[in-house]
Amino acid sequence: MPQPTVLQMTPLPQVAIDLLKARFDLLTLAEWQELGPETPRARSVTGIATTARGAVDASLMDALPVLRIIACYSAGTEGIDSDEAARRGISVTTTSDLIAGDVADLGMGMTIALLRRFPEGMAHVRSGAWPAGTMPLGRSLAGGRIGIVGLGNIGQALARRAGAFDMVVRWHGPRPKAGLPWPYEADLIELARWSNLLAICCPETPETRGLVSADVLAALGPEGYLVNIARGRIVDEEALQIALSDHAIAGAALDVFANEPHVPHTLARNDRVICLPHIGAATVEIRAAMAEHMVARLAEVLL
């Protein structure tokens, strides 16, 4: 029996490619385009393997008449027209359940680094300024107020970690959720005003793009910090740069950016900003588990 044909839309790690090739007839996007969308093999694609950035829209679905599943090697699906897929009965799967712990670990590490002023401390030592005097004091985590925007798997994992450091947690989202131990705040501005640190954990959607606006940053205030472990475009990056330049907020830790992999120089070179290259789920263990999960979801539908 011939193997089902799977289209690889975006670059994937070798561990994922090896697993895909072992069970499916794997076509890269370039190979699919070279074949021509009208050829039998190109039209036989029943599954797609992609990251969140893979552009899977209605026109591509039209060209894949027997497509049954889009399996994402990511937590997000922002490149995929999920509504159109649902309308056509095409499954869309993600690895969000797997990555929550590691992404939350990074968010907690960023929280510690910001409140204890790691970036300024490293700059203080490297510049040779230490012999001339001490650096400004940091803030205790215990009793500190962390506001979490988005309380899905990642947000809840971060809330548990913050609680272990005796931080006080509140959260914001589109609606309250029953059975959670952390208070809900319906107004994002009010959450920012209350918080010592605002952590962004929500998915990127049309509604959340630019959600963290100049007004939110102003409410966070000159002693407040921002952590973003979600998606870069949820934060108004221009407003963030202005807020940092004007010392309207104390600092930021960012694992994601609006135009990755390009990072504005005003963020990358600011001693009050931690910039990381989207490494929230970049661990050996999680990347292997993500590959296995993606292939297993494809196999459930196609084999």
Active-site amino acid positions: 231, 260, 278
- Chain mean position to CA 32: 29
Q: Are 150 and 230 in contact (CB under 8 A)?
A: yes
Q: The dihedral of CA 275, 278, 279, 281: what is its sign?
A: positive
Q: 147: which strand partners?
A: 170, 198
Q: Are 216 and 195 in contact (CB under 8 A)?
A: no
In this structure, the dihedral spanned by the alpha carbons of residues 40, 41, 42 and 44, taken in order and rounded to 10 degrees, is: 80
Q: Are 49 and 12 in contact (CB under 8 A)?
A: yes
Half-sphere exposure of 29 (CA within 13 A, CB side): 13
In the numeric block, which tokens belong to residue 91?
């499954």
Angle in degrees, 0-180, between the axes of helices 118-126 and 96-115, rounded to the nearest 10: 50
Rounded CA-CA distance 300/87 in Å is 20
